[in-house]
Structure 1
Amino acid sequence: MTNIIIAGAVGLILSMLGTPLAIRLFARRGYGQEVREDGVQAHLSKKGTPTMGGVVFVLASLLAYGASHLVTFESPTISGLLVLFLMTGLGAVGFLDDFIKIYKQRSLGLRSGAKALGQLIVGAVFAVLVTQQANVYGITPAETRLSFLRDFGPSIGLVGFTIWVLIMIVGFSNAVNLTDGLDGLASGATAVVLGAYVLIGNWQLRNNCIDQLGPNCYWVRDPLDLAVVAAAVLGSLIGFLWWNAPPAKIFMGDTGSLALGGVLAGLAIATRTQLLLIILAGLCVIITMSVIIQVGFFKMTGKRVFRMAPLQHHFELKGWAETTIVVRFWLIAGLCAAVGLGLFYVEWMPRP
């Protein structure tokens, strides 16, 4: 528990203090957000707002994780390091995308194929490594099986599992990216899910089959360190949200959104809650589905279901204030996380 508190506190402090420094630095260098001319017209006023703020909370998360281990004299675990690798690797892909936008002064960065290739390379390395490195108990950071609240069913093999992991990583990194359309929306919604994973990791630690045998314990490799990772990112994200809340002084950019999607996917895989993430991050899933529905329906009929996709822009065009959309969507994100945690706890409860 000490690790979790230290990681969250250090991440919060570093991000809270580091973000205004980044705002001044990026503004001085002209690292401002480009806005699509054919998008929501109200967003044109946001043009020039410093972007790539995800760099701050990614670095703060890494330093917070390291600090928690230095203070407690505990060694990092392979599970924690792999999730951080996934976050940092996808953040690097997003950084390239953001930098190209800034350098070429346009709203489009990396070509979609190049961005997808970067996500796939990082994801493939993670997928292979996460099934290796068994500890003395023979437990690897992840099993080559699907999971909801625990692993279930037969192994789908390394190739099948790699494909599944890639779908998760690309899907959720893009889902957070699509959610990042209004000030504070993605950071607040993701913070709720990270908070859920702090609780899940702590609960799995207290009911871990490695330390105690029982009918309802969890075969999870490093639950405490996964909770530490979640706390480090959560604290860093809250510090960033202080400056990202409406009206935002800085945007996270693809650097932040891809990194956050990666850490959510990594935590789900390592805690054996892969399918549960669909519920925990339900807001991101809903927003992503709105894009899929909009594009699919338009291709079939030439008509639109929503005034604009992703979903948050539909409500903007209906006249909702940006802060109203953000707060209401945060409430939906909280409800989704609460339902996910409820399912997680009810499944654990001993049966009479």
Structure 2
Amino acid sequence: MTQIIIAGVVSFLVAIFTTPLLIRWFSSAGKGQEIREDGPRSHLRKRGTPTMGGIAILAGIVVGYVVTGIYGITTGSGGFTVSGLLVLGLTLGMGLLGFLDDFIKLFKERNLGLNKTAKLVGQLVLALAFGLLILMFPDEEGLTPGSTNLSFIRDIDTLDIAVGGGIIGIVIFLIFMYILVSAWSNAVNLTDGLDGLAAGATALVMGSYTVITFWQFRNSCNVDVEPGCYSVRDPLDLAVLAAAGLGAALGFLWWNAAPAKIFMGDTGSLALGGMVAGLSVTTRTELLMVVIGALFVIEAASVVIQVAAFKSTGKRVFRMAPFHHHFENGGWAETTVVIRFWLIAAMAALAGSAIFYGEWLSTTGVLLQ
């Protein structure tokens, strides 16, 4: 528990004190966000607001995780693990992809950064590398950071994604990994459209996963094989990483809350989406993440529905997509949309956590008094 607290506090402090430095630097350099002309008219006032605040989020996550790892090594309570490093690597890789996109838009003075093909290729490379690596590095019990089984609260043995095994099975698994990583990174990216919305929602998801991974650590099959134990490699290190993500998101939210002094940009949204995807795989909760991160799912689904409806019928289902703009264009104040969407995210995180804990109770035979 000490390591989790250290990770959260350090990442929060790094993010909250690094963000204003970025605000001053980008403001003095005259580099700010361009606003979509077809977006809500109220957003035009945001033109020129500094962006790329995701740098502070990544700094908070990295410093929080590294400091905690060093503390664990020096105290003999554990240090860096392959699971944590792989998820961190995916997070940083997605952050770098977003950084390139933001850099091109800001410093090359273009309205668009990386084109869709470049983004998809970057996500493909990162997803393939992550997918291959999580099947390697077995521990002394033979447990790898990830598995080819689809998972809900734990691996579903009857649903092996790598159907048939062999090269074909691995290819199918890697395709699944690409879909999962690109879906979550794009979902968080689409949610990042209002002041504080993505940062607050991500903090709630990371808070839920801090609890889940700590519970997996306390009830690990590596410690004691008993009903309800979890076959997850390195759950404590994943809890540390989730806590670092929570602290960094909250530290950045201090400056990103309405009226935002800075935006996270693709640097932050793609990185956080990568962390969400990585945690879902390494904790064996890929389907549970759909519940916990339901707000991200809703936002992404609204875009898919809007595009599909317009291309097939020529009509729009929503006033504007992603979903949060639908309510803005309906007359809701931006802060009203954000707070109500935070409530949705909080209820989803609580529901997912309750499902997780309820499954443990039913598996162990523990009855609530």
Identity %: 55
**Unpaired runs of at least 5, structure 2:** 163-168
Q: Residues 219-249 of structure 1: CA distance to partner in whole angstroms, max 9, x if unpaired?
A: 0001000000000111011000000000000
Structure 2 partner of 1:274: 286
Q: How far 1:158 sits from its partner (Å)?
A: 2.3
**1:159: how far off?**
2.0
Q: Tell me the CA shift for residue 105 of structure 1.
A: 2.8
Structure 1 runs (4+) greater than 6 angstroms displaced: none
For the structure 1 residues 127 and 213, does the alpha-carbon distance in structure 2 shift closer, same or farther, using more than 3 Å as the test?
Answer: same
Amino acid across the alignment from 1:32: G
Q: Are 1:34 and 1:105, in contact at CA under 8 Å, matched by a contact in 2?
A: no
- Whether the 8 Å contact between 1:79 and 1:222 is mirrored in structure 2 is yes
Q: How does 1:138-217 map to 2 (within 5 A)?
A: 138-152=142-156, 153-155=158-160, 156=162, 157-217=169-229
Q: In the alignment, what sits opposite 1:290?
A: 302
Q: How does 1:58-207 map to 2 (within 5 A)?
A: 58-73=58-73, 74-152=78-156, 153-155=158-160, 156=162, 157-207=169-219
Q: 1:259 Cα deviation (Å)?
A: 0.2
Aligned amino acid, residue 61 of structure 1? I
How far apart, in 1, do the equivalents of 2:149 and 2:316 lie?
38
The within-5 A match list for 1:19-58 is 19-58=19-58
CA distance in 1, matches of 2:28, 2:130: 36
Is the 8 Å Cα contact of residues 184 and 246 (structure 1) preserved in structure 2? yes
Deviation digits for residues 81-140 of structure 1 (CA, Å, limit 9, x no counterpart):
000000000000000111111123343211011111111111111110011000111100
Alignment-mate amino acid for residue 293 of structure 1: I
Distance (whole Å) between structure 1 residues aligned to residue 198 and residue 234 of structure 2: 27
Structure 2 distance, partners of 1:215, 1:4, is 26
Counterpart CA distance in 1 for 2:69 and 2:97 is 27
Q: What residue number does 1:253 align with? A: 265
- Partners in 1 of 2:99 and 2:72 — Cα distance? 32
In 1, the alpha carbon distance for the partners of 2:69 and 2:313 equals: 56
CA contact (8 A) 2:197 2:342 kept: yes
CA shift at 1:144, angstroms?
1.1
User: Take 1:60 and 1:338, find their aligned partners in 2: how far apart are those partners?
Assistant: 25
Aligned residues: 352
Moved more, 82-91 or 342-351: 342-351
SS in 2 for 1:146: strand
SS in 2 for 1:192: helix
Conserved in 1, the CA contact under 8 Å of 2:83 and 2:237?
Answer: yes
Counterpart position of 1:310: 322
Q: Distance in 2 between matches of 1:346 and 1:53?
A: 38
- Segment drifting more, 299-308 vs 21-30: 21-30
In structure 2, C-alpha distance between the alignment counterparts of 1:225 and 1:71, rounded to whole Å: 12
Q: Is the 8 A contact 1:145 1:161 kept in 2?
A: no
Partner of 2:13: 13
SS in 1 for 2:71: helix
CA distance in 1, matches of 2:12, 2:24: 19
More divergent stretch after superposition (105-114 vs 261-270):
105-114
TM-score by length of 2: 0.94
In 1, distance between residues paired with 2:28 and 2:129?
A: 37
Provide the C-alpha distance between the structure 2 equivalents of 1:134 and 1:88, rounded to a whole number of angstroms: 23
Would you say 1:351 and 2:365 are equivalent positions?
yes
Deviations 1:155-194 (A, max 9, x none): 3232222111111100000000000000000000011000
Shift of 1:253: 0.2
Aligned mates of 2:159, 2:212 — CA distance in 1: 24
2:349 alignment partner in structure 1: 337
Alpha-carbon distance, 1:19 to partner: 0.6
Partner of 1:236: 248
- Stretch deviating more after TM superposition (96-105 or 309-318): 96-105
2:79–2:237: 8 Å Cα contact kept in structure 1? Answer: no
In the alignment, the residues of structure 2 paired with residue 263 and residue 89 of structure 1 have an alpha-carbon distance, to the nearest angstrom, of 10
Cα contact 1:184–1:245 (8 A) shared by 2: yes
TM-superposition CA deviations, 1:18-66 (whole Å, max 9, x none): 1101110111122210111122111111011000000111011101100
Question: Residue 321 of structure 1 is aligned with which of 333, 343, 351?
Answer: 333
Question: How far apart are residue 351 of structure 1 and its match?
Answer: 3.3
Provide the rounded CA distance (Å) in 2 between the counterparts of 1:276 and 1:30.
43
> Structure 2: which amino acid aligns with 1:149?
I
**CA–CA separation in structure 2 for the residues paired with 1:251 and 1:106:** 18
Q: Deviations over 1:256-303 (max 9, x none)?
A: 000000000000000000011111000010111111111101111101
Task: Report the equivalent of 1:227.
Answer: 239
Q: Which amino acid aligns with 1:263?
A: M
